[in-house]
Structure 1
Amino acid sequence: MSSVSTAAPPGTADASAPDGEAGRITRQLTDFLAGKPDGAGRVTNVRRAGSGRSRDNWLFDLVGPAGTEELILRTDPDGGLIDTDRAVEFEVLRGLAGSGLPTPTARWLDTTGEPFGRPGLIMGRLPGRCDYRVLRDPARPTAEKRELAAAFCDLLAAVHGVDHRALGLDRTLPDPGPAAARAELDRWTAVLRQDQLEPWPELDYAAAVLAEKAPECAARVLVHADFKPGNILVDAGRVSALLDWELAHLGDPLEDLGWVTQPLRSAEHTIENDWTAEHLIAHYEQATGITTDRAALAWWVAFSSYKTAVMQVSGLRAFLEGRADEPYRPTRRVLATLLDATGEPA
């Protein structure tokens, strides 16, 4: 936070605020923060951070009595791959404030959608940038990429090592018990049934096989559920933040490990000819001191492919209903990977 020499009156819009959408967001933020005891200041430098596949983000600064606070407004888009609860994400971020993990500070929550047209939350901005392909960047030295890959794995281990009870996260996130795998499978199958517009026999088959073979887990941990370089900020070659906690829940740590080692995400989490899924698993085991149950991990790898396909079914519906710009749809590669993972010839 940088200091400023003068304080602005509470709830004051930037006089130089742009017209159009940025101007609208500036006015909405000004009105919203005017009603917050700790929201005094001038809203300025509003600009779009881009519409992700699940959120619509606006960066802005709040110039107040104590200085300039760098913030971000995250609102639900009209359509996306997933539908999640802003209040749960907000409470998770608040709980993680004392965890030691590099997470944004949760500042304000809007669950009604009235101030901004859609529900959203405001949180602090952290330095750095995210890059889905950072581990495959040809301009980055291999040694540096391998160091980052190890850092990502250490971060995942740290997430699973969080004492969720001490942080009060168990008051927000229910414990699914030993049947955590079946609980997640049922959750995403319900999403499939809600959003599918046509039969998907491959997904029906996968769901049936996964249900028959669902493993049990001895202890539940905090699961991020969308761990990837695209949700990690890197600043000066070091991890500076882990973002997008909208899918976080209590569950089996192998869920995250299966997500990052599934073939569909190999380009994000591996370094060609240098850092394979096996390297990642070995590093995770060393970081946690836990030996991975490979049979259970294989189930979670298959489930991750299933979850990816269900997300794309939801994205397709959002596109056809005019709520999304891109026509997501399970591709032949996704379905072939899923069927291979569940044991069915593609």
Structure 2
Amino acid sequence: MSDVTEGALATFLSDRLDADVSVDDLHEHVEGWSRDTASFTARWEESGETHERRLVVRAESDAQVEGDATGEGNDVETEFRTMDAAQDAPVPVPETHWFEGDRSVLGGRFFVVDYVPGDAPVTWDRDQRQRLYDAWDERDGESSLPSQFVDCAVGVHTLGPGDVPELDDCPPEDVVERELDRWVGQYRDSVVRPEPAVEECIRWFRANAPEVPETTVVHGDFRIGNMLVDGDDVTALLDWELARIGDPMYDLGYASTYYFAGKLVDPIERPELACSLLDREWFYDEYERRSGRTVDRERVRYWRAFSAFVMMTIGLSGVDRFRSGETDDVRAAWFQYIVPGLVEDMLGVVREDRL
């Protein structure tokens, strides 16, 4: 993100605020790789008073600017518009400020939001995973971390198709076919050779497609690792680039995969916990109680298996880009190691219908 400099940000903000803005303490965040993200402090004078604000810029990656990125997620403007719509929903998101579509400003399209304190828990880290276990074991009332996680899901699903016009609407009866076409197509484009176990799962997905009675905005990547946690509080739900109009049960299924309960750790210490944080059945019961929406366990089971397929496909896309030379980011090559576990998760659901 060589074009994201303190000077360039100061020029941009000075124009937006009609003031002489200074920027310092620019810090690049490397936790995610779908966008370039940095936080910084802006200062300016207004009406004789000095203002100081910590802000975050989220910009297109080099691959997105050059058109080499795959179509896995939404573009940066759609992500901004979705977060902007969520300002009025009962879900914690950073306050949105500006979107800039002129790539000459910072070398790519970008948006600016408030900085929010907190860290995103990493379920693969033993100590962080243990803190999530403790949050479940020591939960107390509606303010506990597991309770806030449920409330975030409920809050996302208060947004309807008309609330984010930038997201393509999809009739409920077409949701499953759209998801299958999108992700199976991406899998076919990325895989070196077909894997018989995955082909069996794809056949199962088509044969067992559930009926979807309603659609809402779904986050698409709903997990504790995309939330900022400050102490015992969820301060923000981030990374909305996979948001779409779909079945709200998708987010529940996605959050329920074994992968986020500590996959890559053998054995999984607490396999009953979604995102290493909350018992799955408690999650579904509390979601029902707080949302007034019935949780169809079979639809959740379907989307749980399909979510593993989606994550596997995203991983294979990264491997394919590294193999073809489209990226030299070694994190893309690393994704090959998540594939076997995700295939195992998919087969675990499929086998339930075969035994």
Q: Return the offset for 1:148.
A: 0.9
CA distance in 2, matches of 1:182, 1:108: 35
2:106 partner amino acid: F
Q: CA deviation at 1:339?
A: 2.2
Match of 2:147 in 1: 150
From 63, 88, 105, give the equivalent of 1:115: 105
Aligned equivalent of 1:8: none
Q: 2:61 aligns with which of 67, 73, 77?
A: 77
**Which of 183, 187, 206 matches 1:211?**
206
- Cα distance change of structure 1 residues 86 and 274 upon mapping to structure 2, 3 Å threshold: closer
| Structure 1 residues 180 and 56: alpha-carbon distance in aligned structure 2, compared to 1, 3 A threshold | same
Deviation at residue 49 of structure 1 after TM alignment: 2.0
Post-superposition offset of 1:60: 0.5
Select which of 254, 262, 265 maps to 2:260. 265
Equivalent residue in structure 1 for 2:88, among 98, 107, 121: 98
Distance in 2, matches of 1:272 and 1:114, equals 40
Judge conservation of contact 1:264–1:334 (CA < 8 Å) in 2: yes
Partner of 2:268: none
What is the one-letter code of the residue matched to 1:96? A
Give the TM-score normalised by the residue count of structure 1.
Answer: 0.82
* Displacement after TM superposition at 1:157 (Å): 1.3
Alignment of 1:216-295 (within 5 A): 216-267=211-262, 270=273, 275-295=278-298
Shift >6 Å, 4+ stretches: 271-274
Question: What is the identity, as a one-letter code, of the residue corresponding to 1:325?
Answer: V
TM-score normalised by L of structure 2: 0.80
**Per-residue deviation at 1:77?**
3.3
- Structure 1 residue 253: Cα displacement: 0.8
Task: Say if 1:22 and 1:46, in contact at 8 Å, map to a contact too.
Answer: no
C-alpha distance in 1 between matches for 2:195 and 2:154:
35
CA deviation after TM superposition for structure 1 residue 300, in Å: 0.7
Runs (5+) with no aligned partner, structure 2: 64-68, 264-271
Aligned counterparts of 1:144 and 1:187: Cα–Cα separation in 2 = 39
**One-letter identity of the residue aligned with 1:317:** D
Deviation at 1:211, TM superposition (A): 2.0
Write the distance in 2 (CA, Å) between the matches of 1:273 and 1:138. 6
Correspondences of 1:1-346 after superposition (within 5 Å): 25-37=5-17, 40-66=20-46, 67-78=51-62, 82-111=72-101, 113-133=103-123, 134=128, 136-137=130-131, 140=134, 142-144=137-139, 147-163=144-160, 165=162, 168-169=163-164, 171-178=165-172, 179-267=174-262, 270=273, 275-320=278-323, 321=325, 322-326=327-331, 327=333, 328-329=335-336, 330-343=338-351
Q: Deviations over 1:70-113 (max 9, x none)?
A: 11111233468944311111111222222242111222223454
- Contact 1:22 1:47 (C-alpha < 8 Å) held by counterparts: no
Task: Indicate the percent of aligned positions where both proteins have the same amino acid.
Answer: 25
Deviation, structure 1 residue 205: 3.1
User: Structure 1 residues 51, 265: closer, same or farther in 2, change over 3 A?
Assistant: closer
Contact 2:132–2:277 (CA under 8 A) maintained in structure 1 = no
CA spacing shift, 1:281–1:229, aligned 2, 3 Å? same
Q: Which runs of 5+ in 1 are unaligned?
A: 1-20
How far does residue 248 in structure 1 lie from its aligned partner after superposition? Answer: 1.0
Deviates more, 1:200-209 or 1:256-265: 200-209
Change (3 A) 1:255 1:83: closer
Q: Are the counterparts in 2 of residues 78 and 324 from structure 1 also a CA contact under 8 Å?
A: no
From the superposition, tell whether residues 84 and 273 of structure 1 become closer, same or farther in structure 2 (CA, over 3 Å): closer
* 1:76 aligned partner, one-letter code: E
CA offset at residue 115 of structure 1? 2.8
